[in-house]
Amino acid sequence: MKRLFAPVDIASLVAFRIAFGTLICAEMLRYLLKGYVTTLWVKPTFHFKYYGFGWVADLPEPLIYAAWISGAVAAACFALGLFYRAAAVWLCVVQTYFFLLDETKWMNHFYLTCLLAFLAILVPCHRAFSLDAWRKPETRSDTAPAWALWILRTQMGIVYFYGGLAKITPDWLLRAEPMRIWLRGKGGLLATEAAAWTLSWGGLLLDLLIVPLLLWRRTRTAAFIVAVLFHLANSRLFTIGVFPWLAIAMTTLFLDPSWPRRLLRKERPTVPASATYTMGRGLAALLTLYFAIQFLVPLRHFLYPGNPDWTEQGHRFSWHMMLRTKASKCRYFVTHADAPEPVKVYPTDYVTDYQAMKMSGRPDMILQLAHHIGRSLEARGYRDVEVRVKTEAALNGRPAQDLIRRRTDLLQEKRSLRNYDWIVPLE
């Protein structure tokens, strides 16, 4: 435990601050310039919400843009180390707000940026090579507590480990799916059976073994090179946004804390052998609770029957990254007192094309939209409304089958954390 309170070179934390802030700022500007903010959060008239977060309110259109732009500014200030704590807090607030605003925008790396922005509030990444250190020289320091480095390492270790654990499935191990499907259109050697099996098993082994190999000094350099090549290959082969670059930046934290100084041929700081840092009880309790949640939540899918890639129960917040391809289509059938015969309703009658594409294979979102349709019809004066759904989905190249029991009146089903028995088991 004493090692957690020992001083370490702050250089790697500074590199993390610059890389993380720059990547998030660039990504937020890209979303703004490409019109994604409009498509994802302004245009929809109905937003799908994570369970327990229905209270997250929509903002008026001008405030949506203002909040997003302010988040990009906060990310830039974060990278520069300018008003660092305030920038980290606001970046965390903005990222988390937009993450929670609509469930259809779920991405593992979006979730990760929210977590890292929160942890960055607690980590003194601004005490060197920053505008804050220039403004207030008395706050400057060449060292930081080792626990600051280890909480970021632990967070990335969780991402790697649970990402590998999630791959231990029959589809991934015994069928090389969905890797085979993804590589089919790439051509050349990538479209071969050998490539599908190699990348499937290689990805699994890397996720499970990379952290121990990075922590062991003898294998650290080789493991880091392999990890970088892996993420660069992912960036080249798949459209997964900023995640590969963010993962590379996070993986550098497993190197010697002085690696940026070595790279720039700068002298290491001199640290007295007796120097130590402390941690308040409140912060210790907060971090204990935080990591307990991070270690336990990804395991909750084991409490549900069936394949989480099919049922979606326990799938999110569990680092199930790039594990499935799921083709689906969804149509609702509505009856009410004035229309005893079912009337077909398409999701795009109520949500955007993007939202319809994302929700059509996810039972929880299908249930949310059914209730929204029911409320809309009841608000227009219709009585005895019932909403059923016909949803066909194909997981990892299997033949399409029903996802939801067709006779289920979804207005009689409530959102909960319990198992949804109206989901048809995967055949």
Q: pLDDT (tens digit, 0 to 9) for every residue of the chain, 427 residues total?
A: 678 888 999 999 999 999 999 999 999 999 999 999 999 999 999 999 999 999 999 999 999 999 999 999 999 999 999 999 999 999 999 999 999 999 999 999 999 999 999 999 999 999 999 999 999 999 999 999 999 999 999 999 999 999 999 999 999 999 999 999 999 888 888 999 999 999 999 999 999 999 999 999 999 999 999 999 999 999 988 888 899 999 999 999 999 999 999 998 888 887 765 677 888 889 999 999 999 999 999 999 999 999 999 999 999 999 999 889 999 999 999 999 887 889 999 999 999 999 999 999 999 999 999 999 999 999 999 999 999 999 999 999 999 999 999 999 999 999 999 999 999 999 8
User: Are 270 and 393 members of one domain?
Assistant: no
Q: Are 159 and 47 in contact (CB under 8 A)?
A: no
User: Are 294 and 161 members of one domain?
Assistant: yes
Angle at the Cα of 156 (from 2 to 269), degrees rounded to 5? 50
Domain boundary among 239, 268, 303: 303
User: Are 245 and 289 members of one domain?
Assistant: yes
365 lies in some domain:
yes
Alpha helices in 238-280 (DSSP H): 243-251, 259-264
User: Are 36 and 105 members of one domain?
Assistant: yes
48 lies in some domain:
yes
User: Strand pairing partners for 345?
Assistant: 332
138 lies in some domain:
yes
320 lies in some domain:
no
Structural domain boundaries enclosing 176? 2-303
Name the burial class of residue 234, with classes exposed (0-12), middle (13-18) and buried (19+) by CB atoms within 10 angstroms of its CB: middle
Give the 3-state DSSP-derived string for the chain, with helices as H, strands as E and coil as C: CHHHHCEEECHHHHHHHHHHHHHHHHHHHHHHHHCHHHHHHHCCCCCCCCCCCCCCCCCCHHHHHHHHHHHHHHHHHHHHCCCHHHHHHHHHHHHHHHHHHCHHHCCHHHHHHHHHHHHHHHCCCCCCCCHHHHHCHHHCCCEEEHHHHHHHHHHHHHHHHHHHHCCCCHHHHHCCCCHHHHHCCCCHHHHCHHHHHHHHHHHHHHHHHHHHHHHCHHHHHHHHHHHHHHHHHHHHHCCCCCHHHHHHHHHHHHCCCCHHHHHHCCCCCCCCCCCCCCCCHHHHHHHHHHHHHHHHHHHHHHHCCCCHHHHCCCCCCCCCCCCCCEEEEEEEEEEECCEEEEEEECHHHCCCHHHHHHHCCCHHHHHHHHHHHHHHHHHCCCCCCEEEEEEEEEECCCCCEECECCCCCHHHCCCCCCCCCCECCCC
User: Are 268 and 333 members of one domain?
Assistant: no
User: Are 126 and 216 members of one domain?
Assistant: yes
Residue from 316, 326, 328, 339 nearest 385 by CA: 339
313 lies in some domain:
no
Q: Are 83 and 129 in contact (CB under 8 A)?
A: no
User: Are 337 and 196 members of one domain?
Assistant: no
As a whole number of angstroms, the distance between CA 197 and CA 199 comes to 6
pLDDT at 113: 97
pLDDT at 340: 80
125 lies in some domain:
yes
pLDDT at 377: 95
Report the run of H or E that residue 390 belongs to, with start and end: strand 386-395
pTM of the model: 0.94
User: Are 291 and 151 members of one domain?
Assistant: yes
Domain count, the chain: 2
317 lies in some domain:
no
User: Are 287 and 336 members of one domain?
Assistant: no
> What's the distance, CA 18 to chain centroid?
21
User: Are 285 and 152 members of one domain?
Assistant: yes
User: Are 298 and 329 members of one domain?
Assistant: no
User: Are 130 and 205 members of one domain?
Assistant: yes
Domain boundary among 273, 303, 333: 303
pLDDT at 274: 61
234 lies in some domain:
yes
User: Strand pairing partners for 388?
Assistant: 333
Report the run of H or E that residue 342 belongs to, with start and end: strand 339-345
